[in-house]
Amino acid sequence: GNSVTQMEGPVTLSEEAFLTINCTYTATGYPSLFWYVQYPGEGLQLLLKATKADDKGSNKGFEATYRKETTSFHLEKGSVQVSDSAVYFCALSTSGTYKYIFGTGTRLKVLA
Amino acid sequence: NAGVTQTPKFRILKIGQSMTLQCTQDMNHNYMYWYRQDPGMGLKLIYYSVGAGITDKGEVPNGYNVSRSTTEDFPLRLELAAPSQTSVYFCASSLGSGHRENTGELFFGEGSRLTVL
């Protein structure tokens, strides 16, 4: 079946450090891939997405590229801020279905 | 634009009690979902609905029931609360497949933290 695996946290970085959160997936067909972010006390909100191979999603300085050959969708940001502290979820959905599969989430803590 | 609204935000139940978590959305979305979020476990799908009058089980439906009498509302009912149901519950909605405008994005409520003692 479909699944999403993302690196375990917590990840602790200093402000302005480079961020990578790894995400790999297993899916039949051609899924859409997402990164959601959850700030403390809030629900999840979409950060970025990519719908086909080699697409790059980007938002708020975050980027992720849909790599079909490595079945990966790693999240990156060149310079993190304290305000980026949150839990990040990688997810996929398969075309034409209701199914969204979420990873277990990676907590990021950025220190000033 | 309110989006997805859940109530209550917090609730403490005793074992065996019943309650309903309310969820409403004002985006005219066809698909609605209930997830539970346990620490370190990500989100697990409890129930989902693809339209008014249609509901189906997700990964972890035992101990829960849902109904979808209108497009806007998707309440989740716990009939006999158990400590294993202590969790944070999220309602979400999406436009649904078949819509040209569908981006695949899920819109989440702020969550309902339930503790069963």
Distance CA B35, CA A102 (A): 11
> pLDDT tens for residues A54-86?
999 999 999 999 999 999 999 999 999 999 999
In chain B, residues with a C-beta closer than 8 Å to the C-beta of A42 are 110-111
Q: What is the pLDDT of residue A21?
A: 97
Is A94 an 8 Å CB contact of chain B? no
Is B34 an 8 Å CB contact of chain A? no
Mean pLDDT of chain A: 92
Q: What is the pLDDT of residue B22?
A: 98
- The predicted model gives A1-5 an average pLDDT of 89
Q: For residue B32, give the chain A residue with the closest CA.
A: A98
Q: For residue A5, give the chain B residue with the closest CA.
A: B42
Question: In this structure, how many other beta carbons lie within 10 angstroms of the beta carbon of residue A16?
Answer: 10
Is A105 an 8 Å CB contact of chain B? yes
Instruction: Tell me how close the Cα of A111 comes to any Cα of chain B, in angstroms.
Output: 22
Q: For residue B49, give the chain A residue with the closest CA.
A: A98
Q: What is the pLDDT of residue B4?
A: 95
In chain A, residues with a C-beta closer than 8 Å to the C-beta of B106 are 36, 44, 46, 100
3-state DSSP assignment of residue B79: coil
Is B26 an 8 Å CB contact of chain A? no
Cis bond before residue B8 (omega within 30° of 0): yes
> pLDDT tens for residues B61-116?
999 999 999 999 999 999 899 999 999 999 999 987 655 556 678 999 999 999 99
Is A25 an 8 Å CB contact of chain B? no
Kindly determine whether residue A100 and residue B45, on different chains, have CB atoms separated by under 8 Å: yes
Kindly determine whether residue B104 and residue A36, on different chains, have CB atoms separated by under 8 Å: no
Q: What is the pLDDT of residue B39?
A: 80
Q: Could you tell me the pLDDT band of residue A29, with boundaries at 50, 70 and 90? A: confident
Which member of B31, B42, B109 has the closest CB to residue A102?
B42
Q: What is the pLDDT of residue A8?
A: 85
Is B108 an 8 Å CB contact of chain A? yes
The answer to whether the CB of A5 falls within 8 A of the CB of A101 is: no
Instruction: Give the 3-state secondary structure percentages of chain A, helix then strand then coil, rounded to 5.
Output: 5, 55, 45
Residue count of chain B, please give it: 117
A59: Cβ contacts below 8 Å, ≥ 6 apart: A47, A48
Judged against a pLDDT cut of 60, whether residue A18 lies above it is answered with yes
> pLDDT tens for residues B4-25?
999 999 999 999 999 999 999 9
φ, ψ at B81 (rounded to 5°): -60, 140
DSSP code, position A93: E
Distance CA B62, CA B58 (A): 10
Helix/strand number for chain B, H first, E second: 0, 11
A34: Cβ contacts below 8 Å, ≥ 6 apart: A46, A47, A48, A49, A90, A91, A92, A93, A100, B104, B105
In chain A, residues with a C-beta closer than 8 Å to the C-beta of B95 are none
